[in-house]
Amino acid sequence: MLTSLTDLWRQQSLYNRRALSIGIVHFGPGRFFRGHLAPIIHKYLAQRGSQEQRWGICGVSLKSRRAINTLEPQGFLYTLIKCSSCALNRDSAEVIGSISQIVDGREDRDYVLDLLTSPSVHLVTLTVTQEGYYLDKSFNLDTANEEIAHDMCNPSTPTTVVGFIVEALRLRRDRGVVPFTTVSCDNLPRNGETLRRAVLTYAELINPELAAYISHNATFSNTVVDRIVPQEHESHHNYPCRLLQVRDRAPIVTEPFWQFVVEDNFRGDRPQWEDTGVIMTKDITPFMCLKYRFLNAVHCFIACLAVRAGIEYVHEALNLPEFQLFIRLMMSDIAAATPVPRQTCEQYMAAVLLRLSNSALPDSIERISSQTSKKVRNHILPILHDAYSRKVSMKRLILPIVAWLLAVREGVSEGGKPYDAKDTLSVVTAIREGAVFSRIMGLENCELQEVVDDECHQAMLVLQTHGILTTLKNYSEGAN
């Protein structure tokens, strides 16, 4: 007999959810949040018991009611399932209770603004993806965007995260409440700084005095967030039944590993979450370098090769000896281009390879290959720049990109499997029209242009002549 999540929670009673007050307002309560921050706060609440009841979370959805519709009927409880092909117990499950409620920010705007103005809310956290920041190509706020333009004309009735943050900080200032700290948990380089810049640009345009106040008083921590949370799959619904005999409409399946590195740049109160495993630091740069280069860029490289090779899952790609060897060598090239001690890189690389080979957690190439052009810009271009200045060969670093260009251009894998790139339309159009990589990435007149275009040209010829697997083998030869 299956029980309900609320009944199971009552039996376990890790902490009193009814006694929780909202201390964190989170924008974007999607799968990554439910696999990362919500379980971290849950662990914290479970460890601290009744001493720390002030860190309940209110999720705010701005784009879709999906999280509300699925989680509300089960009291915002859900199961977190950790899957690992290395662990003794391949799968384990627990019920997460840190989300007190999720509301629709556009329907319940006044409620959200009230919460954001409350002195007991100290943290505003975000997982809204890059799209949610409304950035232009230079990573500045795109003030021409319709939604941003709407909010700038109607600042007291915001619809975007940036609009909500600015209006809430204004209300706090006017009511004499210290600003909250904003903690971006999106996978963007210097996420806090990027958000701060967007917020200040917006505030400057509507109210320069407010912009000056925010600039001097509010803080925006940079963070590095890490946990692989694959796309939802039908089979995920079986885990709660099998492992906990519970019914769950919104389980999250993830890996055991997680990392949350936070720049210690808080204005008011914050959870003392170091005991829970959160890393507080003065400078996230080395963490960022490792994670973006050896995980996100490597993920992206694998996906680029895999779409051309017609492979469906990350671990399947790494199971092929040609991929294994090539990826290892490519990671060494990244290490040679990266300003982090070699031994630290090596340890990180070994851990990543294990995580990406996790066959108990199938992670689709479709997920990783979405928005490839943004991922190349954010995570791969910095590697190419460093490779150039450190004189590291770009041969292996360029090959995956060319495999992806071919797949987008032809709309198929080598074996003829259709590939429909989920990417910016203008990028897909440019690729189909035959634009070179340097133009697609706006590298014209930059020092990289010539070498990158030459490498692309070579790789294109080789891939078209020999195909992916033979090329990977050839590009790995003589390197060992």
**Of residues 182 and 296, the one with the C-beta less far from ligand CS2:** 296
187 touches ligand CS2 (CB under 6 A)? yes
191 touches ligand CS2 (CB under 6 A)? no
| Closest approach of ligand CS2 to the CB of residue 351, in Å | 13
The 3-state DSSP class for residue 130 equals helix
| Closest approach of ligand CS2 to the CB of residue 309, in Å | 17
With CB under 6 A as the contact rule, the residue among 52, 142, 186, 226 that binds ligand CS2 is 226
Please enumerate in sequence order all residues whose Cβ is within 8 A of that of 456, keeping only pairs 6 or more positions apart, or say none: 398, 401, 402, 405, 436, 437, 438
| Closest approach of ligand CS2 to the CB of residue 189, in Å | 12
| Closest approach of ligand CS2 to the CB of residue 121, in Å | 26
Distance CA 303, CA 401 (A): 10
Q: Are 127 and 185 in contact (CB under 8 A)?
A: yes
Alpha-carbon distances of 358 from 245, 292, 315, 352, 365, rounded to whole Å: 25, 19, 6, 10, 14
Q: Are 192 and 220 in contact (CB under 8 A)?
A: yes
Q: Which stretch binds ligand CS2 (CB under 6 A): 160-168, 224-232, 282-290, 404-412?
A: 224-232
Q: Are 82 and 255 in contact (CB under 8 A)?
A: yes
Distance CA 33, CA 98 (A): 11
**Of residues 78 and 292, the one with the C-beta less far from ligand CS2:** 292
Burial 129-144 (b: 16+ CB within 10 A, else e): bbebbbbeeebebbee
**Of residues 100 and 130, the one with the C-beta less far from ligand CS2:** 130
Amino acid letter, 100? S
Query: CA torsion sign, 185 to 344 to 394 to 363?
Result: negative
The CA-CA-CA angle for residues 395, 398, 399, to 5°, reads 85
252 touches ligand CS2 (CB under 6 A)? no
**Of residues 170 and 374, the one with the C-beta less far from ligand CS2:** 374
**Of residues 41 and 368, the one with the C-beta less far from ligand CS2:** 368
DSSP string, 375-411: HIIIIIHHHHHHHHHTT---HHHHHHHHHHHHHHHHT
Amino acid letter, 203? A
Q: Which stretch binds ligand CS2 (CB under 6 A): 106-114, 226-234, 244-252, 426-434?
A: 226-234
Binders of ligand CS2: how many residues, by CB under 6 A? 10
| Closest approach of ligand CS2 to the CB of residue 314, in Å | 9
With CB under 6 A as the contact rule, the residue among 227, 270, 293, 315 that binds ligand CS2 is 227
CA-atom Rg of the chain in angstroms: 23
**Of residues 214 and 295, the one with the C-beta less far from ligand CS2:** 295
| Closest approach of ligand CS2 to the CB of residue 228, in Å | 4
**Of residues 296 and 413, the one with the C-beta less far from ligand CS2:** 296
| Closest approach of ligand CS2 to the CB of residue 300, in Å | 6
| Closest approach of ligand CS2 to the CB of residue 365, in Å | 10
Please enumerate in sequence order all residues whose Cβ is within 8 A of that of 11, keeping only pairs 6 or more positions apart, or say none: none
With CB under 6 A as the contact rule, the residue among 228, 288, 311, 468 that binds ligand CS2 is 228
Q: Is 434 left (phi over 0), alpha (psi -120 to 50) or beta?
A: left
| Closest approach of ligand CS2 to the CB of residue 343, in Å | 23
- Residue number with the shortest CB distance to ligand CS2? 299
Distance CA 451, CA 86 (A): 41
Tell which positions 371-400 bind ligand CS2, by CB under 6 A. 375
**Beta-strand runs (E) in 282-344:** none
With CB under 6 A as the contact rule, the residue among 99, 126, 161, 368 that binds ligand CS2 is 368
**Beta-strand runs (E) in 232-362:** 252-254, 259-263, 279-281
| Closest approach of ligand CS2 to the CB of residue 379, in Å | 8
**Of residues 173 and 367, the one with the C-beta less far from ligand CS2:** 367
Q: Taking CB under 6 A as the rule, which mask of x and - marks residues 268-307 in contact with ligand CS2?
A: ---------------------------xx--xx-------
**Of residues 113 and 262, the one with the C-beta less far from ligand CS2:** 262
Q: What is the DSSP pairing of strand 99-104 with strand 91-96?
A: unpaired
| Closest approach of ligand CS2 to the CB of residue 63, in Å | 18
- The token pair at 361 is 């957690």
**Of residues 191 and 276, the one with the C-beta less far from ligand CS2:** 191
| Closest approach of ligand CS2 to the CB of residue 281, in Å | 17
In the complex, which residues of this chain contact ligand CS2 (CB under 6 A)? 187, 226-228, 295-296, 299-300, 368, 375
